[in-house]
Amino acid sequence: MIHSLFLINCSGDIFLEKHWKSVVSQSVCDYFFEAQEKAADVENVPPVISTPHHYLISIYRDKLFFVSVIQTEVPPLFVIEFLHRVADTFQVCSSNVGDTLPTGQLSNIPWRRAGVKYTNNEAYFDVVEEIDAIIDKSGSTVFAEIQGVIDACIKLSGMPDLSLSFMNPRLLDDVSFHPCIRFKRWESERVLSFIPPDGNFRLISYRVSSQNLVAIPVYVKHSISFKENSSCGRFDITIGPKQNMGKTIEGITVTVHMPKVVLNMNLTTTQGSYTFDPVTKVLTWDVGKITPQKLPSLKGLVNLQSGAPKPEENPSLNIQFKIQQLAISGLKVNRLDMYGEKYKPFKGVKYVTKAGKFQVRT
Amino acid sequence: MSAAPAYSEDKGGSAGPGEPEYGHDPASGGIFSSDYKRHDDLKEMLDTNKDSLKLEAMKRIVAMIARGKNASDLFPAVVKNVACKNIEVKKLVYVYLVRYAEEQQDLALLSISTFQRGLKDPNQLIRASALRVLSSIRVPIIVPIMMLAIKEAASDMSPYVRKTAAHAIPKLYSLDSDQKDQLIEVIEKLLADKTTLVAGSVVMAFEEVCPERIDLIHKNYRKLCNLLIDVEEWGQVVIISMLTRYARTQFLSPTQNESLLEENAEKAFYGSEEDEAKGAGSEETAAASLPARKPYIMDPDHRLLLRNTKPLLQSRSAAVVMAVAQLYFHLAPKAEVGVIAKALVRLLRSHSEVQYVVLQNVATMSIKRRGMFEPYLKSFYIRSTDPTQIKILKLEVLTNLANETNIPTVLREFQTYIRSMDKDFVAATIQAIGRCATNIGRVRDTCLNGLVQLLSNRDELVVAESVVVIKKLLQMQPAQHGEIIKHLAKLTDNIQVPMARASILWLIGEYCEHVPRIAPDVLRKMAKTFTAEEDIVKLQVINLAAKLYLTNSKQTKLLTQYVLSLAKYDQNYDIRDRARFTRQLIVPSEQGGALSRHAKKLFLAPKPAPVLESSFKDRDHFQLGSLSHLLNAKATGYQELPDWPEEAPDPSVRNVEVPEWTKCSNREKRKEKEKPFYSDSEGESGPTESADSDPESESESDSKSSSESGSGESSSESDNEDQDEDEEKGRGSESEQSEEDGKRKTKKKKVPEGKEASSSDEDSDSSSSTSESEMSSESEEEQLEPASWRRKTPPSSKRAPATKEISLLDLEDFTPPSVQPVSPPAIVSTSLAADLEGLTLTDSTLVPSLLSPVSCVGRQELLHRVAGEGLVVDYTFSRQPFSGDPHMVSVHIHFSNSSDTPIKGLHVGTPKLPAGIGIQEFPEIESLAPGESATAVMGINFCDSTQAANFQLCTQTRQFYVSIQPPVGELMAPVFMSENEFKKEQGKLMGMNEITEKLMLPDTCRSDHTVVQKVTATANLGRVPCGTSDEYRFAGRTLTSGSLVLLTLDARPAGAAQLTVNSEKMVIGTMLVKDVIQALTQ
């Protein structure tokens, strides 16, 4: 399957290699560098590259390339999935540097080690929902859906057997599970029943997609215009809360990729602060909380390269926000029960709604 | 990866290759900062007696290896430590050996005896790692030793060691392929292994060593299908991919007969097709209707594979989801392939590499099965932040999905894309528009106009791409577009992109008779600039000249000769050739008049319009999800996906010889069981596949596999002596689960009081999430039985009421119930309601009247005989207004005493209810004699939600915790209104309050009678009279808030229908739509 693995940093140095079969020379990566040059942007390096003797399958995560060398037919997603797991492991390892490597253990439950002990037994669940949306020029929703995950942090001794039930499980349109979940219980009773892995893990991810049910919590008023034959343009955006169900919307940031001809921006804001990077042409406006009494706005002039034709398209606005203690789909955890152990665990559920890929076309 | 920047900085400043600089190694975290020039210190450290120093040295050496530095000169010093007692040192020495043994074979041999000893170690971990290293050392001399070790390990007691043996097989095979025959023997043996741990690894070995030996799979096929869900993710991918190939060789194509039978459009056929889609049971019906042809019957093993892989669509691993998706694409009947779309669309939210691969596959699938992804059209909309390669793939998919109905939306989307800053993407969009225009005639003119407008775009690339696409479109209907050609001709002055210029010239030449006055002028201009043009343009200039010469030689003779002379001396030989060739053809000369007479035919022959088609067309001859599919070229080691066989090979090869007592659960039995089940399902409103039908048939296969694997399992279990006893509770395999659940149950029985812990408050740091319903552990115990009983009984009670029920109840004692603490969710109960509805219909001849809804929905279990210690309690929603409080749902509770002592003082205990929910208790029943039954009415105000009402049912001696969860349809009461009123109210409830879904009505459910029946059975609504025959209207009000619920079903011919629900209560509306659709489509 996977022959070798190379880790390459963004300046093109191979700083780690691992060979599972015979050793493959580092020079195989030259094909990768070639493709990288051609792609110009790291995002556009094709994940699968065919070379005369090998195939290279790579992923890009956190400024590192994980390049694997393949010799024979193998499902590409198999390799990509594996590389991402490797990257995940790196993330964990580099955050808590220890001398001892995790020891491989044999357990009847492959995802849980035996003999776990805690003095405080706790089980926390974070219900995190993200709204993916495309809003068109006129403010109507082109596309919207809710993507949710339940992340768990379980610190329970022994072999607890948990079951988590929802008030309204039928909201969940499409669900994917951690392998620990008993699928049949879900199918028949809509209850998540599982022996959890120890520590942090993602229990389920789900999608809620009945479009008319997605409440978009913010609206944006915008007017961006570039004048023909003049080196300036006007930029004006205002953001406000729509249906926020009594919760405040916080952590709002607006990111705009301005066209290349923009040289600089002179803006004033009624709230928060903004930065414009003249190199990458990225405008970032950090708004913070919205209060409905006074809507935050950002307006001013855009300086364009003189002589260059005015940009054809207005840039789209990418919006981030966060609403605490609310799952926008209305999903609610009903109860959590534990079997198999005698102690009384401390349990908690937290809800957060965020903007996912939330884009406003202008 | 917080360390990422650190790497880049370090390496950014580091010296060139070859020079050792261990001190900078970021991975070492500064531990290795001592002297690094020589390896002497390392050797010294390795020679000491201190394990800590050895470990230190080995860490540094392994770090060197990881960074690609040469550490081979340390071999002798390291190999000595192979016998080291310290397990940490040992591990690292192994890592070193695996890397360098191939280079230093002689020295490596010194270590072999240690591994051989390790293979006999009592610790399974050491046995496994010894085997792993031994098989990783690529030294040809030890092949016989490896072979021996693998053979031995393949029959090791520990499944972990057997798994390692499976891993070693491909390694040995790649070292010495002569061992193939012996290795196949080992593979055969391991394939018979019954542990999930081994299954994935051995199939991987099978795929690498002997993928052609499909015969080895026969006996293991069913076992693999059944184990699949419990195999680890990597193994699942490999097994699914292999089984796809296997199925293609062993089963008949599920679609083969569809085309054949379509001619024979008898009604009976369609009815039976329905069933085939569900399963293999409809033998008789199909055979009866089509005696002449042999009907297609899906092999039960084929069905088994489809059924057992389906849950894996919900895996978190993208690779597994893709594997199942390709399996369904290649193996499932058309009607069933649709299920994969949802899962694949989910993957689009994953990492961009995953998106890239998934989109490639979706692109291929969407050509063949467009309908499958149509509902998800919007999920392929493009964001400006997507990487270009993803944008282009999404565009491909959008283009494939475009059809007559959705083309306006798609084109509107494309319009926004055209203004993107990403020019490659814009070019691709223009091509996509061109493809839409060719595929969908209706929009051709619109597209063409749009593209012509783009010609005035400021960006030259956009213009150029448009020209190219316009050229292709014009070729389809040139006559009407003289104007466009003129417009294009004007562009030659400005546009510089060679491809576009060439396209314009070709168009003018080809259609010169439409622009007779402009064409010569264009040629004149081009002749002027000829020398400065690109080659591709020059060729077209020659073409244009030749065509004009043939049609209009008076004006262009001289120009043509001028151009040809220029071309004659061009630097490019292609152009010189073309010039010479053209001259001979068009200019009549003395020698060869033969050809020039036909010149006009040669040059001005009508040319077929190009077909713009997807580059993903026909890619599906590669197995989807494979590397070869992605590259569109055969990769090394790719196994061709075979075509379906004409005649099915003998299915009995998959029968497994098993001891007598398990045989009953084998093939024959299963068939026998399935037959009545499926043939039944055509007549009545069948149970949902997932909730009701599956458990039955699956428990069948489960029990089979558990019994089959029973002996193997227990032996393997006992191997893990060095492990905690407690771990045994774990979920080893699906088949084990029932046994294991049983264990859990018995355990719990032993400590019934000790579980108070689990009933603790649902506490949380957010105020909103505190759970209101509480139950003590005891009552949860009670509920266990009913929950499972309820799932099992309904289908059987339909067929053989008395006798079968008893046997099922016995069975139920033997099959332990799953642990179920909370109220059964509505899904179970609603489908059950539908079930029982069917039952009451067949039993009593209840004629549905127009305005009164069905008076009673089937009974549901509240308290089971066992749990209730002889007290059986059922409930029904009577659908009569509750006398005490109009906001309450009236529930009839039926008590019967099956114990031999009277039960006294039946009443409702203090209910703990979620906010808003209220209960009107029934009057206490003083005594219920043995064998006697009683009915009481209670009212529950569910507050317009489907939350369960939990309360206690008390007798003098006991308390039972029970819960009633209403199907959403019971939360309303019918109202009477006229058609006009209905329309008026509906008009008020538009927009957000309207939920519309499309559905297909099955044959069995197209008559007025059934539709009304099913809708009113699902929801307590009243029918509203309606003028048109195929529209059904129903109205009701929710009980608590009195909000209107209006339901419209618009049935069109051929079964398509649209369901609309208008209600202020959006949640109720959505749930109602789901329920009604479920009821109607079953």
Find the range with the poorest average confidence among A316-330, B553-567, B670-684, B1066-1080: B670-684
Q: Degrees (nearest 5) of the Cα angle B577, B582, B584?
A: 100
- Look at A143 and B763 and tell me if their CB atoms are within 8 Å: no
* Overall size of chain A counted in residues: 362
Q: What is the overall mean pLDDT for chain B?
A: 74
pLDDT tens figures, B221-260: 999 999 998 888 999 999 999 999 999 999 988 876 554 4
CATH top-level class of B971-1081: alpha beta
Contacting B residues, span 201-260, partner chain A, CB-CB under 8 Å: 204, 208, 229, 232-234, 237, 241
Pairwise CA distance, residues B481 & B613, whole Å: 23
User: Torsions phi, psi of B3, nearest 5?
Assistant: -80, -5
Expressed in angstroms, the distance from the first to the final Cα of chain A is 47
Tokens of B1002: 């099955």
- What's this model's pTM, rounded to 2 decimal places? 0.66
Q: Residue ranges per domain, chain B?
A: 40-253, 309-386, 402-477, 481-608, 860-966, 971-1081
Higher pLDDT, B737 or A312: A312
Residue among B12, B384, B1067 whose CB faces A11 most closely = B12
Q: Is B601 helix (H, G, I), strand (E, B) or coil?
A: helix
pLDDT tens figures, B994-1009: 888 888 888 777 777 7
Tokens of B1047: 């339901």
* Residue B823 confidence (pLDDT) above 60: no
DSSP letter at A215 equals: -
Q: What is the pLDDT of residue B589?
A: 66
Q: Degrees (nearest 5) of the Cα angle B978, B984, B990?
A: 130
| B124 chain-A contacts, CB cut-off 8 A | 106
Nearest Cα to Cα of residue A65 among A38, A103, A35: A35
Pairwise CA distance, residues B390 & B395, whole Å: 8
- Cβ atoms of residues A81 and B351 within 8 Å: no
For β-strands A218-226 and A199-208, DSSP reports them as unpaired
Pairwise CA distance, residues A300 & A341, whole Å: 63
Q: What is the pLDDT of residue A298?
A: 92
Contacting A residues, span 49-68, partner chain B, CB-CB under 8 Å: 50, 55, 58-64
CA distance B539 to chain A (A): 30
Which CA distances in Å does B807 have to B142, B687, B742, B811? 60, 21, 19, 6
pLDDT tens figures, B880-915: 777 777 788 888 888 888 877 888 888 887 666 666
Radius of gyration of chain B (CA): 38
Nearest Cα to Cα of residue B111 among B73, B87, B139, B148: B139
Q: Is A55 helix (H, G, I), strand (E, B) or coil?
A: strand
- The continuous run of DSSP H or E covering A142 comes out as strand A141-155
State the average pLDDT over residues B717-726: 42
Pairwise CA distance, residues B808 & A275, whole Å: 71
DSSP letter at A203 equals: E
- Look at A188 and B821 and tell me if their CB atoms are within 8 Å: no
Sign of the Cα torsion A115, A118, A119, A124 reads negative
- Most confidently predicted of A250-254, B509-513, B728-732, B998-1002: A250-254
User: Torsions phi, psi of B861, nearest 5?
Assistant: -75, 135
> Residue B400, exposed/middle/buried by CB under 10 A (0-12, 13-18, 19+)?
buried
Residue among A11, A19, A50 whose CB faces B11 most closely = A11
User: Torsions phi, psi of B974, nearest 5?
Assistant: -70, 150
Q: What is the pLDDT of residue B706?
A: 41
Tokens of B795: 């289908």
User: Torsions phi, psi of B964, nearest 5?
Assistant: -120, 120
> Domain B860-966 carries which CATH code?
2.60.40.1150
pLDDT tens figures, B748-784: 444 444 444 444 444 434 333 333 333 333 344 434 3
| B387 chain-A contacts, CB cut-off 8 A | 41, 43-44
Domains identified in chain A and CATH numbers: 2-94 (3.30.450.60), 122-129+143-212+337-349 (2.60.40.1170), 218-324 (2.60.40.1170)
What fold does the segment set B40-253 form as a domain? Leucine-rich Repeat Variant (1.25.10)
* Residue B501 confidence (pLDDT) above 50: yes
* Cβ of residue A44 closer than 8 Å to a chain B Cβ: yes
How many Cβ atoms sit within 10 Å of the Cβ of residue A284? 15
pLDDT tens figures, A243-287: 666 788 889 999 998 888 888 889 999 989 999 998 888 999 999
pLDDT tens figures, B856-872: 456 788 877 777 777 88
State the average pLDDT over residues B977-992: 80
Q: What is the pLDDT of residue B391?
A: 93
* Residue B737 confidence (pLDDT) above 60: no
Q: What is the pLDDT of residue B389?
A: 92
SS3 content of chain A, % helix, strand, coil (to 5): 15, 50, 40
pLDDT tens figures, B51-80: 888 888 898 898 888 888 888 888 888 888
pLDDT band at residue A329 under the 50/70/90 scheme: confident
Sequential DSSP letters for B456-477: T-S-HHHHHHHHHHHHHHHTTS
Tokens of A149: 């995950």
Residue among A62, A163, A177 whose CB faces B1 most closely = A62
| The domains spanning B40-253 and B860-966 adopt the same CATH topology | no
Sequential DSSP letters for B665-689: TSHHHHHHHHHHHHHHHHHS-PPPI
Residue among B174, B351, B744 whose CB faces A59 most closely = B351
The residue assigned the tokens 């023997």 is: B185
Higher pLDDT, B484 or B185: B185
* Residue B167 confidence (pLDDT) above 90: yes
Tokens of A252: 């709002």
How many Cβ atoms sit within 10 Å of the Cβ of residue A51? 15
- Look at A179 and B322 and tell me if their CB atoms are within 8 Å: no
Q: What is the pLDDT of residue B780?
A: 41
Tokens of B184: 């196949």
State the average pLDDT over residues B338-348: 91
DSSP letter at B693 equals: I
Q: Write the CB contacts of B94 (distance below 8 Å, at least 6 apart in sequence).
A: B82, B129, B132, B133
Tokens of B989: 């409830």
Pairwise CA distance, residues B712 & B193, whole Å: 8
State the average pLDDT over residues B535-541: 91
State the average pLDDT over residues A26-31: 91
- Cβ atoms of residues A235 and A303 within 8 Å: no
DSSP letter at A294 equals: B
Instruction: State the SS3 of B397-433.
Output: HHHHHCCCCCHHHHHHHHHHHHCCCCHHHHHHHHHHH
Nearest Cα to Cα of residue B381 among A257, A113, A316, A43: A316
Give me the interface pTM, i.e. the ipTM.
0.91
Expressed in angstroms, the distance from the first to the final Cα of chain B is 50
Q: What is the pLDDT of residue A49?
A: 93
b/e burial code for range B436-470 (CB count within 10 A of at least 16 → b): bbbbbeebbebbbebbbebbebeeeebbbbbbbbb
Q: What is the pLDDT of residue A65?
A: 93
Q: Write the CB contacts of A23 (distance below 8 Å, at least 6 apart in sequence).
A: A4, B99, B102
Pairwise CA distance, residues B47 & B84, whole Å: 11
Q: Percent of chain A at pLDDT above 90?
A: 39
Pairwise CA distance, residues B1039 & B1037, whole Å: 6
State the average pLDDT over residues B158-177: 91
* Cβ of residue A141 closer than 8 Å to a chain B Cβ: no
Instruction: State the SS3 of B494-549.
Output: CCCCHHHHHHHHHHHHHCCCCCCCHHHHHHHHHHHHHHHCCHHHHHHHHHHHHHHH
- Look at B769 and A349 and tell me if their CB atoms are within 8 Å: yes
Q: What is the pLDDT of residue B267?
A: 39
* Residue B277 confidence (pLDDT) above 70: no
How many Cβ atoms sit within 10 Å of the Cβ of residue B1028? 10
Q: What is the pLDDT of residue A245?
A: 66
Pairwise CA distance, residues B36 & B227, whole Å: 52
- Look at B762 and A109 and tell me if their CB atoms are within 8 Å: no
Pairwise CA distance, residues B519 & B517, whole Å: 6
Sequential DSSP letters for B285-305: HHHHH-SSSPPP---HHHHHH
- Cβ atoms of residues B240 and B323 within 8 Å: yes
CA distance B315 to chain A (A): 5
Pairwise CA distance, residues B15 & B821, whole Å: 64
Tokens of B155: 């029959």
Sequential DSSP letters for B137-185: S--GGGHHHHHHHHHHHHT-S-HHHHHHHHHHHHHHHHH-GGGHHHHHH
Tokens of A30: 């030259």
Strand partners, A125: A152, A349
Which one-letter amino acid corresponds to residue B419? R
- Look at A359 and B385 and tell me if their CB atoms are within 8 Å: yes
| A108 chain-B contacts, CB cut-off 8 A | 720, 723, 727-732
Pairwise CA distance, residues B449 & B443, whole Å: 10
- Cβ atoms of residues A131 and A354 within 8 Å: yes
Residue in chain B lying closest to A46 (CA): B389
For the CA atoms of B242, B248, B251, B255, the dihedral, rounded to the nearest 10 degrees, stands at 130
| B342 chain-A contacts, CB cut-off 8 A | 173-174
Which one-letter amino acid corresponds to residue B689? E
